[in-house]
């Protein structure tokens, strides 16, 4: 018996909704730390939050191999993704243009994903990761392009060694991965240029 959940949960208005979600993610990528809401209508199986489903519908297609976390791989999400977007599964994480991780998957390490080359730093993965919450966690000061002076972000549910790993990622510049954190219908972007520091309390 086929799982019919894969046929539903896409955009009702793909053109306009895709545009609106893209503007939200473009705005967040250009202003790291800013939190934006999506309209919340997309839904996908596998415990995928709506914002993650919306980003998948907006950004991936047959040109972008996708890697998934363990629990997502075991769910109906790959079938939903294939039906809704036509995106192929990446053979290995290193072939992925986008990678999706829910909280059930846990936070991915940054190892194993493409970071681009010095000649083509754009050929790197964009990680889309669900966190417990985008606010209310330990505060971090963010600096870098897109940020006037500094901004404070406080995502909840990041691993303890996140800051060290993020610093390593930043040191690779211009190579490196870009990160989109999602919670329910909302998202926050951390491009590779953003420098993070724990805030003293």
Residue 141, strand partner residues: 152, 197
Residue 140, strand partner residues: 153, 198
Asked if 25 is part of the footprint of other proteins (rule: CB under 8 A), the reply reads: yes
Contact letters for other proteins, residues 145-164 (x by CB under 8 A): xxxx----------------
Asked if 43 is part of the footprint of other proteins (rule: CB under 8 A), the reply reads: no
Instruction: State which residue, 5 or 150, has the beta carbon closest to other proteins.
Output: 150
Q: Which of 120, 119, 54, 65 is nearest to 97 (CA)?
A: 65
Separation between Cα atoms, residue 189 and residue 45, nearest integer Å: 23
Separation between Cα atoms, residue 35 and residue 26, nearest integer Å: 12
Asked if 61 is part of the footprint of other proteins (rule: CB under 8 A), the reply reads: yes
Among 48, 53, 59, 188, binds other proteins (CB under 8 A): 59
Q: Which stretch binds other proteins (CB under 8 A): 67-75, 102-110, 122-130, 161-169?
A: 122-130
Q: Which stretch binds other proteins (CB under 8 A): 26-34, 40-48, 129-137, 161-169?
A: 26-34
Task: Map residue 155 onto helix, strand or coil.
Answer: coil
| CB distance 99 to 66 below 8 Å | yes
Separation between Cα atoms, residue 128 and residue 130, nearest integer Å: 7
| CB distance 25 to 15 below 8 Å | no
Asked if 117 is part of the footprint of other proteins (rule: CB under 8 A), the reply reads: yes
Task: Map residue 110 onto helix, strand or coil.
Answer: coil
Instruction: State which residue, 76 or 186, has the beta carbon closest to other proteins.
Output: 186
Asked if 119 is part of the footprint of other proteins (rule: CB under 8 A), the reply reads: yes
Q: Which residues in this chain contact other proteins in the complex, by CB under 8 A?
A: 14-16, 18-20, 22-23, 25-27, 29-31, 58-61, 63-64, 97, 117-122, 124, 126, 145-148, 173-174, 178, 191-193
């Amino acid at each position: 018996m086929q799982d019919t959940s894969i046929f539903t949960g896409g955009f009702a208005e793909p053109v306009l909704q895709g545009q609106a979600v893209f503007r939200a993610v473009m705005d967040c990528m250009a202003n790291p730390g800013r939190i934006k809401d999506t309209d919340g209508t997309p839904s996908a199986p596998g415990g995928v939050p709506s914002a993650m489903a919306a980003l998948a519908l907006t950004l991936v297609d047959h040109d972008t191999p996708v890697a998934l976390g363990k629990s997502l791989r075991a769910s109906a999400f790959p079938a939903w993704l294939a039906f809704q977007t036509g995106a192929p599964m990446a053979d290995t994480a290193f072939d992925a243009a986008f990678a999706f991780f829910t909280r059930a998957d846990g936070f991915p390490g940054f190892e194993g994903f493409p970071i681009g080359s010095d000649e083509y730093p754009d050929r790197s993965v964009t990680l889309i990761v669900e966190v417990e919450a985008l606010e209310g966690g330990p505060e971090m000061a963010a600096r870098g392009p897109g940020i006037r002076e500094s901004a404070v972000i406080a995502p909840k549910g990041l691993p303890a060694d996140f800051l060290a790993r993020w610093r390593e990622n930043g040191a690779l510049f211009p190579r490196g991965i870009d990160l989109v954190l999602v919670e329910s219908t909302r998202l926050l972007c951390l491009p590779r240029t953003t420098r993070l520091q724990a805030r003293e309390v």
